[in-house]
A = this chain, B = another copy of it.
Amino acid sequence: MSAVPAPTSAATNPVPFEFEAGPWSHHHLARVEQALSNWVGDGAPAGLGDAMRYAVLDGGKRLRPLLVMAAYEAVCSAHPAAAAATTTAAAATTPADDAALRAACAVELIHAYSLVHDDMPCMDNDVLRRGKPTVHVQFGEAQALLAGDALQAFAFELLTPDGSAIPPATQATLCRLLARAAGSAGMAGGQAIDLASVGIVLTEDQLRQMHRLKTGALLQGSVLMGAVCGHAAQPAYQALSDYGAAMGLAFQVVDDILDVVADSATLGKTAGKDAAADKPTYVSLLGLARAQAYAQELLQESYAALARSGLPDARALGALADMVVRRSH
Protein backbone atom coordinates (compact mmCIF):
# COMPACT_ATOMS: atom_id res chain seq x y z
CA MET A 1 0.00 0.00 0.00
CA SER A 2 1.09 3.57 -0.49
CA ALA A 3 1.89 5.73 2.50
CA VAL A 4 -0.79 8.32 2.03
CA PRO A 5 -4.14 7.49 0.43
CA ALA A 6 -5.32 9.85 -2.30
CA PRO A 7 -7.44 12.55 -0.73
CA THR A 8 -11.17 12.68 -1.33
CA SER A 9 -11.06 16.42 -1.88
CA ALA A 10 -9.59 18.05 -5.00
CA ALA A 11 -6.15 18.28 -3.38
CA THR A 12 -4.18 16.76 -6.22
CA ASN A 13 -1.26 18.09 -8.22
CA PRO A 14 -2.94 21.01 -10.01
CA VAL A 15 -1.15 20.22 -13.27
CA PRO A 16 -1.25 16.53 -14.24
CA PHE A 17 2.12 15.25 -15.36
CA GLU A 18 2.96 11.74 -16.41
CA PHE A 19 5.99 11.23 -14.23
CA GLU A 20 7.06 7.82 -13.04
CA ALA A 21 6.84 5.82 -16.25
CA GLY A 22 7.08 8.84 -18.49
CA PRO A 23 9.72 10.09 -20.86
CA TRP A 24 10.75 12.97 -18.58
CA SER A 25 12.14 10.83 -15.79
CA HIS A 26 13.43 8.21 -18.21
CA HIS A 27 15.45 10.81 -20.09
CA HIS A 28 16.95 12.42 -16.99
CA LEU A 29 17.65 9.17 -15.17
CA ALA A 30 19.55 7.88 -18.20
CA ARG A 31 21.68 11.04 -18.38
CA VAL A 32 22.46 10.99 -14.67
CA GLU A 33 23.31 7.27 -14.65
CA GLN A 34 25.62 7.71 -17.62
CA ALA A 35 27.36 10.72 -16.09
CA LEU A 36 27.82 9.00 -12.72
CA SER A 37 29.19 5.93 -14.45
CA ASN A 38 31.64 8.07 -16.46
CA TRP A 39 32.82 10.13 -13.52
CA VAL A 40 32.75 8.14 -10.28
CA GLY A 41 35.98 6.38 -9.39
CA ASP A 42 37.84 7.76 -12.40
CA GLY A 43 41.48 8.27 -11.41
CA ALA A 44 41.02 6.57 -8.03
CA PRO A 45 43.27 3.68 -6.91
CA ALA A 46 41.61 0.41 -7.93
CA GLY A 47 40.16 -0.78 -4.61
CA LEU A 48 38.87 2.65 -3.63
CA GLY A 49 37.41 3.30 -7.07
CA ASP A 50 35.57 -0.02 -6.96
CA ALA A 51 34.06 0.78 -3.57
CA MET A 52 33.02 4.27 -4.73
CA ARG A 53 31.34 2.89 -7.85
CA TYR A 54 29.65 0.11 -5.88
CA ALA A 55 28.24 2.69 -3.48
CA VAL A 56 26.88 4.97 -6.19
CA LEU A 57 25.98 2.86 -9.21
CA ASP A 58 23.42 0.72 -7.49
CA GLY A 59 20.09 1.84 -8.80
CA GLY A 60 18.72 4.16 -6.15
CA LYS A 61 15.59 6.18 -6.86
CA ARG A 62 17.77 9.18 -7.77
CA LEU A 63 15.18 11.50 -6.25
CA ARG A 64 17.75 14.21 -5.50
CA PRO A 65 19.18 14.39 -9.05
CA LEU A 66 15.62 14.50 -10.43
CA LEU A 67 14.83 17.41 -8.10
CA VAL A 68 17.87 19.29 -9.41
CA MET A 69 16.79 18.69 -13.00
CA ALA A 70 13.14 19.52 -12.37
CA ALA A 71 14.01 22.78 -10.60
CA TYR A 72 16.50 23.71 -13.31
CA GLU A 73 13.97 23.15 -16.07
CA ALA A 74 11.21 24.92 -14.18
CA VAL A 75 13.41 28.01 -13.91
CA CYS A 76 14.47 27.75 -17.55
CA SER A 77 10.80 27.65 -18.56
CA ALA A 78 10.66 31.32 -17.49
CA HIS A 79 13.42 32.39 -19.85
CA PRO A 80 14.02 29.73 -22.50
CA ALA A 81 15.78 32.22 -24.80
CA ALA A 82 18.38 33.15 -22.19
CA ALA A 83 19.27 29.51 -21.64
CA ALA A 84 19.64 28.96 -25.37
CA ALA A 85 21.79 32.08 -25.79
CA THR A 86 24.48 30.66 -23.54
CA THR A 87 25.07 27.69 -25.82
CA THR A 88 28.69 27.58 -26.87
CA ALA A 89 29.56 26.71 -30.43
CA ALA A 90 31.70 23.75 -29.38
CA ALA A 91 29.28 22.14 -26.96
CA ALA A 92 26.09 20.25 -27.66
CA THR A 93 24.71 21.46 -24.34
CA THR A 94 24.83 24.84 -22.62
CA PRO A 95 27.11 25.59 -19.65
CA ALA A 96 23.90 25.82 -17.59
CA ASP A 97 22.90 22.30 -18.71
CA ASP A 98 26.36 21.07 -17.75
CA ALA A 99 26.11 22.75 -14.36
CA ALA A 100 22.71 21.13 -13.72
CA LEU A 101 23.98 17.67 -14.65
CA ARG A 102 27.01 18.13 -12.39
CA ALA A 103 24.82 19.39 -9.55
CA ALA A 104 22.49 16.41 -10.02
CA CYS A 105 25.41 14.01 -9.72
CA ALA A 106 26.97 15.92 -6.81
CA VAL A 107 23.85 15.70 -4.63
CA GLU A 108 23.63 11.98 -5.37
CA LEU A 109 27.29 11.53 -4.33
CA ILE A 110 26.55 13.21 -0.99
CA HIS A 111 23.47 11.02 -0.53
CA ALA A 112 25.46 7.89 -1.45
CA TYR A 113 28.32 8.70 0.91
CA SER A 114 25.86 9.29 3.75
CA LEU A 115 24.33 5.84 3.18
CA VAL A 116 27.77 4.18 3.18
CA HIS A 117 28.69 5.79 6.50
CA ASP A 118 25.18 5.28 7.99
CA ASP A 119 25.32 1.57 7.26
CA MET A 120 28.61 1.07 9.10
CA PRO A 121 28.68 -0.97 12.32
CA CYS A 122 29.19 2.08 14.53
CA MET A 123 26.05 3.70 13.08
CA ASP A 124 23.09 1.56 11.92
CA ASN A 125 25.09 -1.63 11.34
CA ASP A 126 23.15 -2.61 8.22
CA VAL A 127 24.43 -5.51 6.13
CA LEU A 128 22.04 -5.18 3.20
CA ARG A 129 20.95 -2.23 1.09
CA ARG A 130 18.72 -2.64 -1.95
CA GLY A 131 19.29 -6.37 -1.78
CA LYS A 132 23.09 -6.11 -1.98
CA PRO A 133 25.69 -6.38 0.78
CA THR A 134 26.47 -2.91 2.12
CA VAL A 135 29.81 -1.33 1.16
CA HIS A 136 31.60 -2.23 4.40
CA VAL A 137 30.44 -5.84 4.13
CA GLN A 138 31.67 -6.03 0.56
CA PHE A 139 34.92 -4.03 0.86
CA GLY A 140 35.70 -3.86 4.59
CA GLU A 141 35.07 -1.04 7.04
CA ALA A 142 38.25 0.91 6.35
CA GLN A 143 37.60 1.01 2.61
CA ALA A 144 33.95 1.97 3.23
CA LEU A 145 35.02 4.85 5.46
CA LEU A 146 37.49 6.08 2.81
CA ALA A 147 35.02 5.60 -0.04
CA GLY A 148 32.47 7.76 1.78
CA ASP A 149 35.08 10.42 2.45
CA ALA A 150 36.26 10.37 -1.16
CA LEU A 151 32.70 10.59 -2.50
CA GLN A 152 32.09 13.73 -0.46
CA ALA A 153 35.26 15.35 -1.81
CA PHE A 154 34.37 14.28 -5.34
CA ALA A 155 30.98 15.99 -5.11
CA PHE A 156 32.77 19.33 -4.73
CA GLU A 157 35.26 18.47 -7.45
CA LEU A 158 32.39 17.80 -9.87
CA LEU A 159 30.96 21.26 -9.15
CA THR A 160 34.22 23.06 -9.98
CA PRO A 161 35.46 21.70 -13.32
CA ASP A 162 38.70 23.18 -14.63
CA GLY A 163 38.48 25.33 -17.75
CA SER A 164 34.70 25.07 -17.83
CA ALA A 165 32.28 27.64 -19.26
CA ILE A 166 30.15 27.36 -16.12
CA PRO A 167 30.35 30.83 -14.54
CA PRO A 168 32.59 30.83 -11.44
CA ALA A 169 29.80 32.48 -9.46
CA THR A 170 27.55 29.50 -10.24
CA GLN A 171 30.29 27.06 -9.24
CA ALA A 172 30.90 28.86 -5.95
CA THR A 173 27.20 29.13 -5.12
CA LEU A 174 26.65 25.44 -5.85
CA CYS A 175 29.53 24.55 -3.51
CA ARG A 176 28.09 26.79 -0.81
CA LEU A 177 24.61 25.28 -1.06
CA LEU A 178 25.93 21.72 -1.10
CA ALA A 179 28.33 22.27 1.80
CA ARG A 180 25.56 23.76 3.93
CA ALA A 181 23.07 21.05 3.03
CA ALA A 182 25.58 18.31 3.86
CA GLY A 183 27.25 19.74 6.93
CA SER A 184 26.65 20.34 10.60
CA ALA A 185 23.72 22.68 9.98
CA GLY A 186 22.30 20.18 7.47
CA MET A 187 22.46 16.43 6.95
CA ALA A 188 25.33 15.62 9.35
CA GLY A 189 23.74 17.83 12.01
CA GLY A 190 20.42 16.04 11.64
CA GLN A 191 22.11 12.67 11.98
CA ALA A 192 23.79 13.85 15.17
CA ILE A 193 20.43 14.93 16.62
CA ASP A 194 19.01 11.55 15.56
CA LEU A 195 21.85 9.76 17.39
CA ALA A 196 21.15 11.73 20.53
CA SER A 197 17.37 11.19 20.35
CA VAL A 198 17.09 7.42 20.76
CA GLY A 199 14.79 6.67 23.67
CA ILE A 200 13.93 10.34 24.17
CA VAL A 201 10.51 11.93 23.74
CA LEU A 202 10.82 14.88 21.37
CA THR A 203 8.33 17.67 20.91
CA GLU A 204 6.90 18.10 17.43
CA ASP A 205 9.15 21.14 16.95
CA GLN A 206 12.25 19.14 17.87
CA LEU A 207 11.25 16.25 15.61
CA ARG A 208 10.61 18.65 12.73
CA GLN A 209 13.99 20.31 13.26
CA MET A 210 15.76 16.93 13.25
CA HIS A 211 14.07 15.86 10.04
CA ARG A 212 14.52 19.21 8.33
CA LEU A 213 18.25 18.78 8.81
CA LYS A 214 18.67 15.03 8.39
CA THR A 215 16.84 14.54 5.10
CA GLY A 216 15.18 17.86 4.36
CA ALA A 217 18.33 19.94 3.95
CA LEU A 218 19.75 17.90 1.06
CA LEU A 219 16.34 17.57 -0.66
CA GLN A 220 15.77 21.32 -0.39
CA GLY A 221 19.41 21.91 -1.37
CA SER A 222 18.87 19.86 -4.52
CA VAL A 223 15.99 22.11 -5.52
CA LEU A 224 17.99 25.27 -4.80
CA MET A 225 21.02 24.01 -6.73
CA GLY A 226 18.83 23.35 -9.77
CA ALA A 227 17.37 26.83 -9.39
CA VAL A 228 20.86 28.38 -9.28
CA CYS A 229 21.90 26.54 -12.44
CA GLY A 230 18.93 28.14 -14.20
CA HIS A 231 19.77 31.56 -12.73
CA ALA A 232 16.45 31.86 -10.90
CA ALA A 233 15.27 35.36 -10.03
CA GLN A 234 14.65 36.06 -6.35
CA PRO A 235 10.86 35.60 -6.03
CA ALA A 236 10.97 32.25 -7.85
CA TYR A 237 14.03 31.17 -5.84
CA GLN A 238 12.22 31.87 -2.57
CA ALA A 239 9.13 29.98 -3.71
CA LEU A 240 11.27 27.01 -4.74
CA SER A 241 12.98 27.14 -1.35
CA ASP A 242 9.54 26.92 0.30
CA TYR A 243 8.62 24.06 -2.03
CA GLY A 244 11.84 22.26 -1.07
CA ALA A 245 11.22 22.71 2.64
CA ALA A 246 7.67 21.33 2.47
CA MET A 247 8.53 18.47 0.13
CA GLY A 248 11.65 17.60 2.13
CA LEU A 249 9.73 17.36 5.38
CA ALA A 250 6.95 15.39 3.66
CA PHE A 251 9.57 12.87 2.54
CA GLN A 252 10.51 12.14 6.14
CA VAL A 253 6.93 12.04 7.44
CA VAL A 254 6.18 9.46 4.76
CA ASP A 255 9.32 7.52 5.69
CA ASP A 256 8.02 7.32 9.24
CA ILE A 257 4.60 6.16 7.98
CA LEU A 258 6.09 3.51 5.69
CA ASP A 259 8.17 2.13 8.54
CA VAL A 260 4.83 1.24 10.15
CA VAL A 261 2.49 0.37 7.28
CA ALA A 262 4.75 -1.30 4.71
CA ASP A 263 6.21 -4.76 4.88
CA SER A 264 9.95 -5.29 4.54
CA ALA A 265 9.68 -6.82 1.06
CA THR A 266 7.95 -3.75 -0.38
CA LEU A 267 10.19 -1.37 1.53
CA GLY A 268 13.43 -3.05 0.47
CA LYS A 269 14.69 -2.59 4.03
CA THR A 270 13.64 -3.78 7.46
CA ALA A 271 10.19 -2.44 8.37
CA GLY A 272 9.38 -1.48 11.94
CA LYS A 273 12.99 -0.55 12.55
CA ASP A 274 12.35 2.87 14.04
CA ALA A 275 9.95 1.53 16.64
CA ALA A 276 12.31 -1.33 17.42
CA ALA A 277 15.16 1.17 17.89
CA ASP A 278 12.93 3.35 20.06
CA LYS A 279 13.40 6.30 17.72
CA PRO A 280 10.95 9.18 17.82
CA THR A 281 8.88 9.37 14.60
CA TYR A 282 5.88 11.29 13.30
CA VAL A 283 3.77 8.17 13.80
CA SER A 284 4.85 7.73 17.41
CA LEU A 285 4.25 11.42 18.03
CA LEU A 286 1.01 12.06 16.10
CA GLY A 287 -0.43 8.60 15.47
CA LEU A 288 -0.83 7.13 11.98
CA ALA A 289 -3.93 9.02 10.83
CA ARG A 290 -2.63 12.45 11.82
CA ALA A 291 0.79 11.70 10.31
CA GLN A 292 -0.91 10.82 7.00
CA ALA A 293 -2.95 14.01 7.15
CA TYR A 294 0.21 15.99 7.86
CA ALA A 295 1.96 14.51 4.81
CA GLN A 296 -1.06 15.53 2.75
CA GLU A 297 -0.88 19.07 4.17
CA LEU A 298 2.80 19.33 3.29
CA LEU A 299 2.03 18.17 -0.24
CA GLN A 300 -0.52 20.97 -0.55
CA GLU A 301 2.07 23.43 0.80
CA SER A 302 4.53 22.32 -1.84
CA TYR A 303 1.92 22.78 -4.60
CA ALA A 304 1.06 26.22 -3.26
CA ALA A 305 4.72 27.23 -3.32
CA LEU A 306 5.02 26.13 -6.94
CA ALA A 307 1.95 28.19 -7.81
CA ARG A 308 3.53 31.21 -6.06
CA SER A 309 6.77 30.77 -7.99
CA GLY A 310 5.20 32.16 -11.14
CA LEU A 311 7.23 29.67 -13.18
CA PRO A 312 5.41 28.71 -16.39
CA ASP A 313 6.15 25.00 -16.12
CA ALA A 314 6.85 23.46 -12.72
CA ARG A 315 4.97 20.25 -13.48
CA ALA A 316 7.90 17.93 -12.88
CA LEU A 317 8.46 19.42 -9.42
CA GLY A 318 4.77 18.90 -8.63
CA ALA A 319 4.98 15.31 -9.84
CA LEU A 320 8.06 14.67 -7.70
CA ALA A 321 6.35 15.99 -4.58
CA ASP A 322 3.39 13.81 -5.43
CA MET A 323 5.65 10.78 -5.81
CA VAL A 324 7.40 11.54 -2.52
CA VAL A 325 4.10 11.46 -0.63
CA ARG A 326 2.36 8.61 -2.45
CA ARG A 327 5.31 6.23 -2.77
CA SER A 328 5.03 2.75 -1.29
CA HIS A 329 8.76 2.32 -0.58
A residues with a Cβ closer than 8 A to B are 41, 43-45, 47-49, 52, 113-114, 117, 120, 122-123, 136, 140-143, 145-146, 148-150, 152-157, 159-162, 167-169, 171-173, 175-176, 178-180, 182-186, 188-189, 191-193, 195-196
Whether B152 and A152, one on each chain, are in contact in the complex, defined by CB atoms closer than 8 angstroms, is yes
**Smallest CB–CB gap between A119 and chain B, Å?**
11
Expressed in whole angstroms, the Cα–Cα distance for A171 and B174 within the complex equals 11
Closest 8 CB pairs of A and B: A153-B183, A44-B184, A122-B141, A48-B192, A160-B176, A157-B179, A171-B172, A168-B169
Q: A48-B184, A184-B48 are in contact. Are A142 and B195 (CB under 8 A)?
A: yes
**CB nearest neighbor in B for A120:** B145
Cβ contact of A188, chosen from B149, B173, B192, cutoff 8 A: B149
Contact status A150-B47, CB under 8 Å: no
Question: Is A153 within 8 A of B154, CB to CB?
Answer: no
A44 to B, closest residue via Cβ: B184
* Bound Cα distance A74, B1 (Å): 66
Subset of 11 A-B contacts with CB under 8 Å: A44-B184, A44-B185, A149-B182, A154-B179, A156-B156, A156-B175, A157-B183, A160-B172, A160-B173, A168-B172, A168-B173
Q: Which residues of B contact A188 (CB under 8 A)?
A: 48, 146, 149-150, 153
CB pair A145 B117 closer than 8 Å: yes
Bound Cα distance A114, B152 (Å): 13
| Alpha-carbon separation in the docked complex, A114 to B153 (Å) | 12
Give the Cβ gap from A106 to chain B, nearest Cβ, in Å: 10
- Cβ contacts under 8 Å, A52 to chain B: 184
Chain B residue with minimal CB distance to A192?
A: B48
Contact between chains at B149 and A152 (CB < 8 Å): yes
Shortest Cβ distance from A216 into chain B, in angstroms? 15
Please report the C-alpha to C-alpha distance between residue A186 and residue B45 in the assembled complex, in whole angstroms: 10
